[in-house]
């Protein structure tokens, strides 16, 4: 029995009021910072908000091993960026092997894509190496997301020619307005992942986005079952101050909803 002690007042110290006690954290989340990931070192506010909500959230800059992965429930890996870095911008073969085994055994990984600043496809190719190692149908495409409108010249966003304003029109976070920097399109091995595409078994689109309630819809978040686990693709990271610092956008609440959905057991 749990008793709440209220000092003073002379009131009886027993109340017929249920108190919910959390036996453990809602889940263990790790943000990968070991592969020159976009926004390395900029996930502090995101992690703190998750911790306040009951998630055991942290960042790590160590190579992936099966032992380390088994200590987490959800791994978040943003697109590796080419160029100078203090950590490798590629995934080693032994890391991919450890990740594939962990996911097949029930692990969950969230991959955040995006285009390289110089227009190359290094990051997309690296994330697709993960998807190949997992035997997944989903892929990142080295081309811009078509949904949404350019964010250049708006009052509340900087002049980033590759940034887009995207409204979630269906699925997780419907109605949310997102600010996305250099988002990449999602696809399947066979081609684009757009409305009307035939989805293989185990693949679901969790969020569709567009410029508004009408027009062509493009996948923003897609998830695929892999063994007892899953891999989820999002078109770009949404958890840095670059997105959360934009007034009038819902990136923070969207990211929280996405993490909550992925930590929840199906």
DSSP letter at 156 equals: T
pLDDT of the chain, 266 residues: tens digit per residue: 445 555 555 555 555 555 444 445 689 999 999 999 999 999 999 999 999 999 999 999 999 999 999 999 999 999 999 888 889 999 999 999 999 999 999 999 999 999 998 888 999 999 999 999 999 999 999 999 988 888 765 455 455 777 889 999 999 999 999 999 999 999 999 888 888 888 999 999 999 998 755 567 899 999 999 999 999 999 999 999 888 878 889 999 999 999 999 999 65
Contacts within 8 Å (CB) and 24+ apart, 187-190: 187/138, 187/139, 187/140, 187/141, 188/137, 188/138, 188/139, 189/137, 189/139
- Cβ contacts of 172 within 8 Å, gap of 6 or more: 206, 207, 221, 254, 257, 258, 261
pLDDT in tens, 94-118: 999 999 999 999 999 999 999 998 8
pLDDT in tens, 152-162: 654 554 557 77
This model's pTM is above 0.95: no
Structure tokens at 126: 């690296």
Smallest CA-to-CA distance from 51 within 25, 75, 71, 32 is with 25
């Amino acid at each position: 029995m749990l008793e709440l002690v209220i000092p003073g007042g002379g009131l009886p110290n027993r109340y017929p009021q249920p108190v919910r006690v959390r036996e453990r954290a809602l889940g263990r989340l790790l943000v990968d910072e070991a592969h020159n990931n976009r926004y390395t070192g900029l996930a502090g506010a995101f992690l703190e908000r998750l911790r306040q909500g009951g998630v055991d959230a942290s960042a790590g800059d160590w190579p992936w091993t099966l032992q380390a992965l088994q200590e987490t429930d959800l791994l978040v890996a943003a697109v590796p960026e080419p160029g100078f870095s203090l950590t490798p911008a590629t995934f080693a073969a032994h890391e991919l092997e450890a990740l594939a085994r962990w996911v097949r055994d029930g692990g969950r990984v969230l991959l955040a894509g995006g285009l390289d600043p110089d227009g190359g496809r290094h990051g997309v190719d690296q994330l697709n190496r993960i998807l190949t190692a997992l035997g997944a149908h989903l892929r990142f495409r080295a081309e811009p997301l078509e949904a949404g409108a350019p964010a250049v010249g708006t009052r509340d966003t900087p002049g980033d020619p590759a940034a887009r304003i995207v409204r979630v029109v269906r699925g997780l976070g419907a109605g949310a307005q997102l600010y996305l920097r250099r988002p990449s399109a999602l696809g399947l091995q066979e081609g684009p992942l757009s409305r009307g595409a035939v989805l293989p078994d185990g693949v679901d689109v969790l969020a569709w986005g567009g410029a508004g309630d009408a027009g062509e819809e493009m996948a923003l978040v897609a998830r695929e079952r892999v063994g007892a686990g899953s891999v989820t693709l999002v078109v770009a990271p949404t958890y840095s101050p670059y997105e959360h610092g934009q007034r009038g956008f819902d990136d923070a609440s969207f990211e929280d909803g996405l993490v909550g959905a992925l930590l929840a057991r199906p």
